[in-house]
Amino acid sequence: MKTIIFDLDGTLLDSAPDIRATANTLLARRGRAPITLAQTRGFIGSGAGVFVARLAAAAGLDTDAAALARLEAEFVEIYEHAHALTRVYPGVEAALDRLAAAGWRMGLCTNKPIAPARAVLAHFRLSARFAAVVGGDSLAVRKPDPAPLHHVHAALGGGPAVYVGDSEVDAQTAAAAAIPFALFTEGYRRSAPEAIVHQARFADFAALPELAEALLAGAGAPRVPGP
C-alpha cells in the first residue's frame, strides 16, 4: 500500500484569513492595532503557541509564560469555530479523489491544534478522507520533530510514503523522518522554493497524483534543493 500524508494550513487550506481574524479579535480586546495578512502568514507554521508568541511580541503584549498560555487558550477557543474565511485550495478535492481511487492511504500531520484541525476538516467535509490525523498538541512534540509524522505513518500501516507540505518546517520534518517531500509552492513558505529541500514541487494539485507516484518510484534519490 502507498501512503500520502498532508500538512493542513497553507497546503490543503488557505486558512490565513481566519487565523488573522482570530488574532485581530484578540488584539482588539486588548486595544492593539490589527496585524496584516502578510504578518499572519509569516507567523504561521510552528503551532499555536509559537503563533501567539510572535503575535504578542509584534503587538507589544506581555510575553511571560503565563500570559502567553492564556493568550493561546483564548486564541484556540475562538479559532476552533472560525471557518468563514478559510478556503480549500483549488484542485485539492479532485486530487484526493484520484489518490483514493489509485489506492493511496491518506493522513494528516499538522501543527494546528487538534480541535481546530478536526473542526475545519468537518466543516469542509474532509474528515473521512484521512484515516489518521495528528495535530500540534496531539503529542509531546510537534513538527519539525519527526515524531508526529512517524506517528501518522505508523497509524496508516507504514510502507512507502510521501509527505506534502508548503513550508520550511514541513521540509525539515520530512527530512528528519526520511520521507520524500513534495512542496506545494502556493502556501505560506518564507523562502524561495529553490532554498527549501524537497524532492518535487508543484503549484497545481492536478499534478500531485502523478508526482506522488514518481516520488515513490525514486524514493532512494538524494535529497537536494530544486525541482
Q: Which grid coordinates belong to 133?
A: 490525523
- Establish whether 204 is a catalytic residue: no
CB 89 within 8 A of CB 186: yes
Other CB atoms within a 10 A radius of the CB of residue 101 amount to 9
User: 529541500: which residue's cell?
Assistant: 197
Helix, strand, coil content of the chain in percent (nearest 5): 45, 15, 40
Q: Backbone phi, then psi, for 32, in 5-degree steps?
A: -105, 155
Q: Are strands 161-165 and 200-202 parallel, antiparallel or unpaired?
A: unpaired
Which element (helix H / strand E) includes 126?
none
Q: How far apart are CA 114 and CA 175, in angstroms?
A: 23
Q: Which grid coordinates belong to 50?
A: 509559537
CB 83 within 8 A of CB 18: yes
What dihedral angle (degrees, nearest 10) is formed by the CA atoms of 57, 62, 66, 72? -50
CB 126 within 8 A of CB 132: no
Catalytic residue set: 7
